[in-house]
Structure 1
Protein backbone atom coordinates (compact mmCIF):
# COMPACT_ATOMS: atom_id res chain seq x y z
CA UNK A 1 0.00 0.00 0.00
CA UNK A 2 1.28 3.49 -0.73
CA UNK A 3 2.54 5.35 2.29
CA UNK A 4 0.06 7.58 4.02
CA UNK A 5 0.40 11.22 3.05
CA UNK A 6 -0.55 14.19 5.16
CA UNK A 7 -2.42 17.15 3.74
CA UNK A 8 -0.31 20.30 3.73
CA UNK A 9 -1.66 22.95 6.06
CA UNK A 10 -3.06 26.06 4.36
CA UNK A 11 -0.44 28.73 3.98
CA UNK A 12 -1.10 31.61 6.29
CA UNK A 13 -2.32 34.66 4.38
CA UNK A 14 -0.16 37.78 4.66
CA UNK A 15 -1.30 39.95 7.57
CA UNK A 16 -1.83 43.02 5.39
CA UNK A 17 -4.61 41.38 3.32
CA UNK A 18 -7.07 41.54 6.21
CA UNK A 19 -6.09 45.12 6.97
CA UNK A 20 -6.51 46.04 3.31
CA UNK A 21 -9.97 44.44 3.17
CA UNK A 22 -11.06 46.38 6.27
CA UNK A 23 -9.94 49.61 4.63
CA UNK A 24 -11.95 48.79 1.50
CA UNK A 25 -15.05 48.03 3.55
CA UNK A 26 -14.69 51.25 5.52
CA UNK A 27 -14.27 53.28 2.30
CA UNK A 28 -17.33 51.72 0.65
CA UNK A 29 -19.49 51.98 3.76
CA UNK A 30 -18.47 55.36 5.18
CA UNK A 31 -16.65 57.17 2.38
CA UNK A 32 -13.17 58.61 2.02
CA UNK A 33 -13.67 60.86 5.04
CA UNK A 34 -13.44 57.83 7.30
CA UNK A 35 -9.84 57.17 6.23
CA UNK A 36 -6.59 58.85 7.17
CA UNK A 37 -4.53 60.29 4.30
CA UNK A 38 -2.06 57.41 4.42
CA UNK A 39 -4.88 54.85 4.48
CA UNK A 40 -6.44 56.27 1.31
CA UNK A 41 -2.99 56.22 -0.25
CA UNK A 42 -2.61 52.58 0.83
CA UNK A 43 -5.72 51.62 -1.12
CA UNK A 44 -4.36 53.34 -4.19
CA UNK A 45 -0.91 51.77 -3.87
CA UNK A 46 -2.25 48.26 -3.39
CA UNK A 47 -3.80 48.41 -6.86
CA UNK A 48 -0.31 48.83 -8.33
CA UNK A 49 1.47 46.71 -5.71
CA UNK A 50 -1.00 43.96 -4.75
CA UNK A 51 1.54 41.50 -3.36
CA UNK A 52 3.33 43.60 -0.76
CA UNK A 53 2.46 45.51 2.40
CA UNK A 54 2.12 49.10 1.16
CA UNK A 55 1.36 50.74 4.52
CA UNK A 56 5.03 51.67 5.17
CA UNK A 57 5.35 53.06 1.64
CA UNK A 58 2.20 55.16 2.06
CA UNK A 59 3.46 56.57 5.36
CA UNK A 60 6.87 57.33 3.84
CA UNK A 61 5.23 59.21 0.97
CA UNK A 62 3.09 61.31 3.32
CA UNK A 63 6.14 62.01 5.48
CA UNK A 64 8.25 63.01 2.49
CA UNK A 65 5.74 65.28 0.74
CA UNK A 66 3.54 66.40 3.63
CA UNK A 67 0.01 65.51 2.51
CA UNK A 68 -2.03 63.32 0.16
CA UNK A 69 -2.47 66.25 -2.25
CA UNK A 70 1.26 66.95 -2.26
CA UNK A 71 1.98 63.29 -3.05
CA UNK A 72 -0.40 63.49 -6.01
CA UNK A 73 1.29 66.68 -7.23
CA UNK A 74 4.87 65.40 -6.91
CA UNK A 75 6.87 64.81 -10.07
CA UNK A 76 7.32 61.14 -11.10
CA UNK A 77 11.08 61.39 -10.55
CA UNK A 78 10.47 62.62 -6.99
CA UNK A 79 8.02 59.81 -6.29
CA UNK A 80 10.51 57.20 -7.49
CA UNK A 81 13.07 58.46 -5.00
CA UNK A 82 10.92 56.83 -2.29
CA UNK A 83 11.77 53.19 -1.64
CA UNK A 84 9.22 50.85 -3.21
CA UNK A 85 7.96 53.29 -5.85
CA UNK A 86 8.75 52.33 -9.43
CA UNK A 87 7.55 53.78 -12.73
CA UNK A 88 4.28 51.78 -12.76
CA UNK A 89 3.29 53.01 -9.30
CA UNK A 90 4.29 56.59 -10.06
CA UNK A 91 2.10 56.40 -13.18
CA UNK A 92 -0.84 55.19 -11.07
CA UNK A 93 -0.45 58.14 -8.71
CA UNK A 94 -0.26 60.65 -11.56
CA UNK A 95 -3.33 59.04 -13.18
CA UNK A 96 -5.35 59.69 -10.03
CA UNK A 97 -4.16 63.29 -9.99
CA UNK A 98 -5.09 63.76 -13.66
CA UNK A 99 -8.54 62.24 -13.08
CA UNK A 100 -9.21 64.57 -10.13
CA UNK A 101 -8.18 67.64 -12.14
CA UNK A 102 -10.32 66.56 -15.11
CA UNK A 103 -13.37 66.12 -12.87
CA UNK A 104 -12.92 69.60 -11.44
CA UNK A 105 -12.34 71.15 -14.87
CA UNK A 106 -15.54 69.53 -16.15
CA UNK A 107 -17.41 71.01 -13.19
CA UNK A 108 -16.12 74.42 -14.29
CA UNK A 109 -17.03 73.79 -17.93
CA UNK A 110 -20.64 72.77 -17.35
CA UNK A 111 -21.74 76.00 -15.63
CA UNK A 112 -21.16 79.72 -16.16
CA UNK A 113 -17.96 80.45 -14.27
CA UNK A 114 -19.31 83.32 -12.17
CA UNK A 115 -22.19 81.18 -10.90
CA UNK A 116 -19.87 78.35 -9.85
CA UNK A 117 -17.04 80.34 -8.29
CA UNK A 118 -16.29 77.66 -5.70
CA UNK A 119 -15.64 75.17 -8.51
CA UNK A 120 -13.24 77.65 -10.15
CA UNK A 121 -11.32 78.10 -6.90
CA UNK A 122 -11.18 74.34 -6.30
CA UNK A 123 -9.90 73.79 -9.83
CA UNK A 124 -7.19 76.45 -9.54
CA UNK A 125 -6.18 75.14 -6.14
CA UNK A 126 -5.89 71.55 -7.38
CA UNK A 127 -3.61 72.43 -10.28
CA UNK A 128 -1.49 75.15 -8.68
CA UNK A 129 -1.34 74.95 -4.89
CA UNK A 130 1.45 72.37 -4.75
CA UNK A 131 3.57 73.71 -7.61
CA UNK A 132 7.16 74.31 -6.52
CA UNK A 133 7.55 77.34 -8.81
CA UNK A 134 5.24 80.20 -9.68
CA UNK A 135 2.85 79.56 -12.53
CA UNK A 136 0.66 82.18 -14.22
CA UNK A 137 -2.57 81.04 -15.91
CA UNK A 138 -5.36 82.66 -17.87
CA UNK A 139 -8.96 81.45 -17.99
CA UNK A 140 -10.70 82.80 -21.11
CA UNK A 141 -14.48 83.32 -20.98
CA UNK A 142 -17.15 83.91 -23.62
CA UNK A 143 -20.10 86.30 -23.47
CA UNK A 144 -22.04 83.91 -21.23
CA UNK A 145 -19.09 83.53 -18.83
CA UNK A 146 -18.46 79.97 -19.98
CA UNK A 147 -14.87 78.77 -20.07
CA UNK A 148 -13.38 78.81 -23.58
CA UNK A 149 -9.84 77.80 -22.64
CA UNK A 150 -7.37 77.59 -19.76
CA UNK A 151 -3.72 78.25 -20.55
CA UNK A 152 -0.45 78.43 -18.65
CA UNK A 153 1.11 81.69 -19.79
CA UNK A 154 4.40 81.40 -17.94
CA UNK A 155 6.40 79.26 -15.53
CA UNK A 156 8.81 81.00 -13.20
CA UNK A 157 10.95 80.59 -10.13
CA UNK A 158 10.00 80.04 -6.51
CA UNK A 159 8.98 83.70 -6.17
CA UNK A 160 8.40 85.09 -9.66
CA UNK A 161 6.68 84.24 -12.94
CA UNK A 162 7.06 86.77 -15.76
CA UNK A 163 3.84 88.22 -17.15
CA UNK A 164 3.87 89.99 -20.52
CA UNK A 165 0.85 92.23 -21.02
CA UNK A 166 1.21 92.10 -24.80
CA UNK A 167 1.05 88.28 -24.72
CA UNK A 168 -2.06 88.35 -22.51
CA UNK A 169 -3.77 90.65 -25.04
CA UNK A 170 -2.62 88.47 -27.94
CA UNK A 171 -3.99 85.25 -26.45
CA UNK A 172 -7.25 86.92 -25.42
CA UNK A 173 -7.84 88.09 -28.99
CA UNK A 174 -6.88 84.67 -30.37
CA UNK A 175 -9.60 83.03 -28.29
CA UNK A 176 -12.19 85.73 -28.97
CA UNK A 177 -12.69 86.05 -25.21
CA UNK A 178 -15.03 88.66 -23.76
CA UNK A 179 -13.45 88.46 -20.32
CA UNK A 180 -10.67 86.65 -18.47
CA UNK A 181 -9.68 85.46 -15.03
CA UNK A 182 -6.02 85.57 -14.07
CA UNK A 183 -4.54 83.12 -11.58
CA UNK A 184 -1.12 82.39 -10.18
CA UNK A 185 0.32 80.59 -7.20
CA UNK A 186 2.65 81.55 -4.37
CA UNK A 187 4.87 78.53 -3.59
CA UNK A 188 5.65 80.06 -0.18
CA UNK A 189 2.07 79.19 0.75
CA UNK A 190 1.01 82.76 1.61
CA UNK A 191 -1.48 84.09 -1.00
CA UNK A 192 -1.11 87.74 0.05
CA UNK A 193 -0.64 89.83 -3.13
CA UNK A 194 2.62 91.66 -3.59
CA UNK A 195 2.95 95.20 -4.93
CA UNK A 196 4.15 93.71 -8.24
CA UNK A 197 1.03 91.48 -8.37
CA UNK A 198 -1.21 94.52 -7.94
CA UNK A 199 0.60 96.67 -10.48
CA UNK A 200 0.69 93.88 -13.07
CA UNK A 201 -3.05 93.27 -12.60
CA UNK A 202 -3.85 96.92 -13.20
CA UNK A 203 -1.59 97.01 -16.28
CA UNK A 204 -3.46 94.04 -17.76
CA UNK A 205 -6.80 95.66 -16.90
CA UNK A 206 -5.84 98.87 -18.70
CA UNK A 207 -4.59 97.04 -21.80
CA UNK A 208 -7.66 94.80 -22.10
CA UNK A 209 -10.04 97.70 -21.46
CA UNK A 210 -8.71 99.24 -24.69
CA UNK A 211 -10.14 96.29 -26.65
CA UNK A 212 -13.35 95.96 -24.62
CA UNK A 213 -12.33 92.93 -22.54
CA UNK A 214 -12.84 92.83 -18.78
CA UNK A 215 -10.81 91.11 -16.07
CA UNK A 216 -13.16 89.44 -13.59
CA UNK A 217 -10.51 88.70 -11.01
CA UNK A 218 -6.91 87.84 -10.30
CA UNK A 219 -6.74 84.87 -7.93
CA UNK A 220 -3.59 84.07 -5.98
CA UNK A 221 -3.40 80.48 -4.76
CA UNK A 222 -1.53 79.41 -1.63
CA UNK A 223 -1.30 75.94 -0.17
CA UNK A 224 -4.07 76.55 2.35
CA UNK A 225 -6.07 79.36 0.85
CA UNK A 226 -6.40 82.03 -1.79
CA UNK A 227 -6.60 85.78 -2.24
CA UNK A 228 -8.92 87.59 -4.64
CA UNK A 229 -7.62 90.96 -5.81
CA UNK A 230 -11.21 91.88 -6.73
CA UNK A 231 -12.43 91.18 -3.19
CA UNK A 232 -9.47 93.05 -1.71
CA UNK A 233 -10.42 96.18 -3.67
CA UNK A 234 -7.42 96.34 -5.99
CA UNK A 235 -9.34 96.07 -9.25
CA UNK A 236 -11.87 98.87 -9.32
CA UNK A 237 -11.84 100.93 -12.51
CA UNK A 238 -10.53 104.13 -10.93
CA UNK A 239 -7.50 102.45 -9.41
CA UNK A 240 -6.76 100.44 -12.54
CA UNK A 241 -6.72 103.62 -14.64
CA UNK A 242 -3.94 105.17 -12.56
Structure 2
Protein backbone atom coordinates (compact mmCIF):
# COMPACT_ATOMS: atom_id res chain seq x y z
CA UNK A 1 0.00 0.00 0.00
CA UNK A 2 1.31 3.46 -0.86
CA UNK A 3 1.97 5.87 2.05
CA UNK A 4 -0.28 8.92 2.33
CA UNK A 5 2.73 11.13 1.62
CA UNK A 6 3.16 9.42 -1.76
CA UNK A 7 -0.41 9.78 -3.02
CA UNK A 8 -0.52 11.27 -6.54
CA UNK A 9 -2.10 14.67 -7.01
CA UNK A 10 -5.68 14.64 -8.26
CA UNK A 11 -6.18 15.59 -11.90
CA UNK A 12 -5.85 19.33 -12.30
CA UNK A 13 -4.75 19.74 -8.70
CA UNK A 14 -1.59 21.25 -7.32
CA UNK A 15 1.59 19.17 -7.68
CA UNK A 16 2.35 17.02 -4.67
CA UNK A 17 5.44 17.52 -2.49
CA UNK A 18 8.79 16.80 -4.14
CA UNK A 19 9.16 13.63 -2.09
CA UNK A 20 5.84 12.16 -3.25
CA UNK A 21 6.55 8.67 -4.50
CA UNK A 22 10.12 8.77 -3.21
CA UNK A 23 9.63 5.91 -0.78
CA UNK A 24 8.41 3.50 -3.40
CA UNK A 25 11.11 4.58 -5.84
CA UNK A 26 13.78 4.00 -3.21
CA UNK A 27 12.33 0.60 -2.28
CA UNK A 28 12.24 -0.35 -5.97
CA UNK A 29 15.87 0.67 -6.43
CA UNK A 30 16.84 -1.32 -3.32
CA UNK A 31 15.08 -4.41 -4.69
CA UNK A 32 16.51 -4.15 -8.20
CA UNK A 33 20.02 -2.74 -7.69
CA UNK A 34 20.53 -4.32 -4.26
CA UNK A 35 21.00 -2.81 -0.80
CA UNK A 36 24.83 -2.72 -1.04
CA UNK A 37 24.52 -0.17 -3.87
CA UNK A 38 22.63 2.38 -1.76
CA UNK A 39 24.53 5.25 -0.14
CA UNK A 40 24.43 5.39 3.66
CA UNK A 41 21.75 8.07 3.85
CA UNK A 42 19.36 6.06 1.65
CA UNK A 43 19.94 2.89 3.65
CA UNK A 44 19.14 4.89 6.76
CA UNK A 45 16.04 6.28 5.05
CA UNK A 46 14.74 2.76 4.43
CA UNK A 47 14.94 2.05 8.13
CA UNK A 48 13.40 5.40 9.08
CA UNK A 49 10.39 4.63 6.86
CA UNK A 50 9.37 2.10 9.54
CA UNK A 51 9.69 4.55 12.42
CA UNK A 52 8.23 7.55 10.58
CA UNK A 53 5.54 6.16 8.24
CA UNK A 54 4.71 9.53 6.69
CA UNK A 55 6.63 12.52 5.41
CA UNK A 56 10.09 13.13 3.99
CA UNK A 57 12.78 11.40 6.09
CA UNK A 58 15.72 12.20 3.80
CA UNK A 59 16.58 15.42 5.71
CA UNK A 60 16.50 13.45 8.99
CA UNK A 61 18.79 10.74 7.59
CA UNK A 62 21.26 13.33 6.30
CA UNK A 63 21.11 15.31 9.56
CA UNK A 64 21.89 12.16 11.56
CA UNK A 65 24.93 11.38 9.41
CA UNK A 66 26.12 15.00 9.58
CA UNK A 67 25.72 15.08 13.36
CA UNK A 68 27.47 11.78 14.15
CA UNK A 69 29.80 11.39 11.17
CA UNK A 70 29.02 7.89 9.93
CA UNK A 71 26.30 5.25 9.79
CA UNK A 72 28.05 3.18 12.47
CA UNK A 73 28.26 6.22 14.75
CA UNK A 74 24.55 6.98 14.25
CA UNK A 75 23.60 3.50 15.40
CA UNK A 76 26.02 3.62 18.36
CA UNK A 77 24.68 6.97 19.63
CA UNK A 78 22.64 7.05 22.80
CA UNK A 79 18.88 7.52 22.68
CA UNK A 80 19.32 10.90 24.38
CA UNK A 81 21.88 12.11 21.82
CA UNK A 82 19.79 10.88 18.90
CA UNK A 83 16.82 12.89 20.13
CA UNK A 84 18.81 16.14 19.88
CA UNK A 85 18.85 15.91 16.07
CA UNK A 86 16.47 18.35 14.42
CA UNK A 87 15.99 19.53 10.86
CA UNK A 88 13.34 21.07 8.60
CA UNK A 89 11.25 19.21 6.07
CA UNK A 90 10.48 20.44 2.56
CA UNK A 91 7.68 22.64 3.89
CA UNK A 92 9.87 24.33 6.49
CA UNK A 93 8.41 22.38 9.39
CA UNK A 94 10.67 21.23 12.20
CA UNK A 95 11.27 17.51 12.07
CA UNK A 96 13.63 15.26 13.96
CA UNK A 97 14.22 12.12 15.91
CA UNK A 98 11.60 11.26 18.50
CA UNK A 99 11.77 8.72 21.30
CA UNK A 100 10.41 5.86 19.18
CA UNK A 101 12.79 6.48 16.27
CA UNK A 102 15.74 6.78 18.65
CA UNK A 103 14.82 3.51 20.34
CA UNK A 104 14.50 1.78 16.95
CA UNK A 105 17.99 2.95 15.94
CA UNK A 106 19.45 1.82 19.27
CA UNK A 107 17.76 -1.56 18.83
CA UNK A 108 19.32 -1.91 15.37
CA UNK A 109 22.76 -1.33 16.90
CA UNK A 110 22.08 -3.98 19.54
CA UNK A 111 21.06 -6.44 16.81
CA UNK A 112 24.33 -5.75 14.96
CA UNK A 113 26.34 -6.24 18.16
CA UNK A 114 24.66 -9.55 18.93
CA UNK A 115 25.19 -10.82 15.40
CA UNK A 116 28.88 -9.90 15.65
CA UNK A 117 29.13 -11.61 19.03
CA UNK A 118 27.73 -14.98 17.86
CA UNK A 119 30.97 -16.32 16.30
CA UNK A 120 32.90 -15.38 19.44
CA UNK A 121 30.36 -17.11 21.68
CA UNK A 122 30.09 -20.38 19.75
CA UNK A 123 33.83 -21.07 19.64
CA UNK A 124 36.71 -20.63 22.08
CA UNK A 125 37.50 -16.92 22.11
CA UNK A 126 41.22 -17.48 21.79
CA UNK A 127 40.81 -19.50 18.57
CA UNK A 128 38.34 -17.02 17.05
CA UNK A 129 40.31 -13.85 17.69
CA UNK A 130 39.23 -12.19 14.45
CA UNK A 131 35.56 -12.64 15.41
CA UNK A 132 36.28 -11.24 18.86
CA UNK A 133 37.95 -8.13 17.45
CA UNK A 134 35.03 -7.62 15.07
CA UNK A 135 32.60 -7.87 17.97
CA UNK A 136 34.38 -5.40 20.27
CA UNK A 137 34.68 -2.93 17.41
CA UNK A 138 30.95 -3.07 16.68
CA UNK A 139 30.16 -2.77 20.39
CA UNK A 140 32.55 0.05 21.30
CA UNK A 141 34.15 1.72 18.30
CA UNK A 142 31.75 4.66 18.25
CA UNK A 143 30.77 4.87 21.91
CA UNK A 144 30.81 8.59 22.81
CA UNK A 145 31.83 7.89 26.42
CA UNK A 146 34.46 5.61 27.86
CA UNK A 147 33.16 2.19 28.82
CA UNK A 148 35.02 -0.60 30.62
CA UNK A 149 33.80 -4.15 30.16
CA UNK A 150 35.09 -7.63 30.93
CA UNK A 151 34.72 -10.82 28.92
CA UNK A 152 34.66 -13.70 31.43
CA UNK A 153 35.76 -17.08 30.03
CA UNK A 154 35.48 -20.68 31.19
CA UNK A 155 38.32 -23.25 31.23
CA UNK A 156 37.79 -23.90 27.50
CA UNK A 157 38.13 -20.16 26.81
CA UNK A 158 34.47 -19.93 25.79
CA UNK A 159 32.56 -16.81 26.71
CA UNK A 160 30.52 -17.01 29.92
CA UNK A 161 29.62 -13.36 30.27
CA UNK A 162 30.29 -10.01 28.62
CA UNK A 163 29.64 -7.45 31.32
CA UNK A 164 29.92 -3.67 31.40
CA UNK A 165 31.73 -2.89 34.64
CA UNK A 166 31.58 0.86 34.37
CA UNK A 167 30.63 3.77 32.13
CA UNK A 168 32.41 7.06 32.46
CA UNK A 169 33.11 10.36 30.75
CA UNK A 170 34.67 11.10 27.38
CA UNK A 171 38.11 10.17 28.71
CA UNK A 172 37.73 8.16 31.92
CA UNK A 173 35.80 5.20 33.30
CA UNK A 174 36.62 4.24 36.89
CA UNK A 175 37.80 0.64 37.32
CA UNK A 176 38.09 -1.28 40.58
CA UNK A 177 40.37 -4.35 40.28
CA UNK A 178 38.81 -6.12 43.26
CA UNK A 179 35.33 -5.80 41.75
CA UNK A 180 36.56 -7.16 38.41
CA UNK A 181 38.07 -10.22 40.10
CA UNK A 182 35.20 -10.70 42.52
CA UNK A 183 32.74 -10.85 39.64
CA UNK A 184 34.93 -13.42 37.92
CA UNK A 185 34.73 -15.68 40.96
CA UNK A 186 30.94 -15.22 41.14
CA UNK A 187 30.46 -16.50 37.58
CA UNK A 188 33.05 -19.30 38.00
CA UNK A 189 35.33 -17.85 35.35
CA UNK A 190 38.80 -19.24 34.71
CA UNK A 191 40.07 -16.28 32.71
CA UNK A 192 39.09 -12.85 31.42
CA UNK A 193 39.75 -10.35 28.69
CA UNK A 194 39.56 -6.67 29.60
CA UNK A 195 38.07 -4.29 27.05
CA UNK A 196 37.55 -0.55 27.00
CA UNK A 197 37.23 2.19 24.41
CA UNK A 198 38.91 5.51 23.74
CA UNK A 199 36.25 7.94 22.44
CA UNK A 200 39.07 10.10 21.05
CA UNK A 201 39.48 7.43 18.35
CA UNK A 202 43.13 6.63 19.14
CA UNK A 203 43.46 3.17 20.75
CA UNK A 204 47.01 3.77 22.00
CA UNK A 205 47.24 2.65 25.66
CA UNK A 206 47.78 5.42 28.18
CA UNK A 207 49.98 5.13 31.27
CA UNK A 208 46.87 4.78 33.52
CA UNK A 209 45.59 2.01 31.19
CA UNK A 210 48.83 0.10 31.63
CA UNK A 211 48.97 0.56 35.40
CA UNK A 212 45.33 -0.44 35.86
CA UNK A 213 45.90 -3.58 33.78
CA UNK A 214 48.85 -4.61 35.94
CA UNK A 215 46.77 -4.16 39.10
CA UNK A 216 43.99 -6.40 37.75
CA UNK A 217 46.50 -9.03 36.58
CA UNK A 218 48.05 -9.19 40.06
CA UNK A 219 44.67 -9.34 41.82
CA UNK A 220 43.43 -12.06 39.44
CA UNK A 221 46.60 -14.14 39.70
CA UNK A 222 46.34 -14.24 43.49
CA UNK A 223 42.97 -15.97 43.12
CA UNK A 224 43.86 -18.30 40.25
CA UNK A 225 42.35 -16.29 37.37
CA UNK A 226 44.18 -15.48 34.14
CA UNK A 227 43.95 -12.19 32.26
CA UNK A 228 44.54 -13.06 28.62
CA UNK A 229 44.61 -9.52 27.26
CA UNK A 230 43.41 -5.96 27.54
CA UNK A 231 41.91 -4.61 24.31
CA UNK A 232 41.50 -0.89 23.72
CA UNK A 233 39.02 0.03 21.00
CA UNK A 234 39.08 3.24 18.98
CA UNK A 235 37.81 4.38 15.62
CA UNK A 236 41.38 3.87 14.33
CA UNK A 237 41.48 0.20 15.35
CA UNK A 238 42.01 -2.10 18.33
CA UNK A 239 45.18 -2.16 20.45
CA UNK A 240 46.21 -5.29 22.36
CA UNK A 241 48.32 -4.68 25.46
CA UNK A 242 49.56 -8.26 25.29
CA UNK A 243 50.72 -7.89 21.68
CA UNK A 244 52.41 -4.61 22.61
CA UNK A 245 54.27 -6.31 25.48
CA UNK A 246 52.62 -4.10 28.09
CA UNK A 247 51.27 -6.85 30.35
The answer, yes or no, to whether TM exceeds 0.5 is yes
**What is the root-mean-square deviation in Å for CA atoms of aligned residues?**
2.1
Figure out how many residues of one structure are paired with residues of the other and give that number: 228
Residues of 2 paired with 1:30 and 1:124: CA distance?
Answer: 32
* Equivalent residues of 1:26, 1:34 under 8 A apart: no
User: SS where residue 116 of structure 1 aligns?
Assistant: helix
Q: CA shift at 1:15, angstroms? A: 4.9
Return the TM-score normalized by structure 2.
0.84
Following superposition of structure 1 onto structure 2, how do residues 95-174 of structure 1 map, counting pairs within 5 Å? 95-174=107-186
* Equivalent residues of 2:49, 2:57 under 8 A apart: yes
Residues of 1 paired with 2:58 and 2:20: CA distance?
Answer: 11
Q: CA shift at 1:160, angstroms? A: 1.5
Question: Which residue in 1 is equivalent to 2:4?
Answer: none
Partner residue of 1:201 out of 195, 213, 217:
213
Question: Which residue in 1 is equivalent to 2:3?
Answer: none
Deviations 1:153-203 (A, max 9, x none): 112222121221111110111111111000001111110001111121122
- Is 1:70 matched up with 2:82? no
Q: CA shift at 1:87, angstroms? A: 1.9
Residues of 2 paired with 1:25 and 1:115: CA distance?
Answer: 42
Question: Which residue in 1 is equivalent to 2:23?
Answer: 20
Residues of 2 paired with 1:175 and 1:56: CA distance?
Answer: 47
Partner residue of 1:180 out of 174, 192, 196:
192
Return the TM-score normalized by structure 1.
0.86
Residues of 1 paired with 2:104 and 2:19: CA distance?
Answer: 21
Residues of 2 paired with 1:77 and 1:140: CA distance?
Answer: 30
Residues of 1 paired with 2:32 and 2:124: CA distance?
Answer: 34
* Equivalent residues of 2:77, 2:144 under 8 A apart: no
Q: CA shift at 1:80, angstroms? A: 2.1
Question: Which residue in 2 is equivalent to 1:240?
Answer: none
Provide closer, same or farther for how the CA distance between residues 10 and 105 of structure 1 changes in structure 2, counting only shifts above 3 A: farther
The list of structure 1 runs, each at least 4 consecutive aligned residues, that deviate by more than 6 angstroms after superposition, is 10-13
Deviates more, 1:153-162 or 1:38-47: 153-162
Rg larger in 1 or in 2?
Answer: 1
Question: Which residue in 2 is equivalent to 1:82?
Answer: 85
Following superposition of structure 1 onto structure 2, how do residues 217-236 of structure 1 map, counting pairs within 5 Å? 217-235=229-247
Structure 2, unaligned runs of 5 or more? 1-9, 87-94
Q: CA shift at 1:22, angstroms? A: 4.2
User: SS where residue 190 of structure 1 aligns?
Assistant: coil
* Equivalent residues of 1:61, 1:71 under 8 A apart: yes
Question: Which residue in 2 is equivalent to 1:94?
Answer: 106
Structure 1, unaligned runs of 5 or more? 1-7, 236-242
User: SS where residue 177 of structure 1 aligns?
Assistant: coil
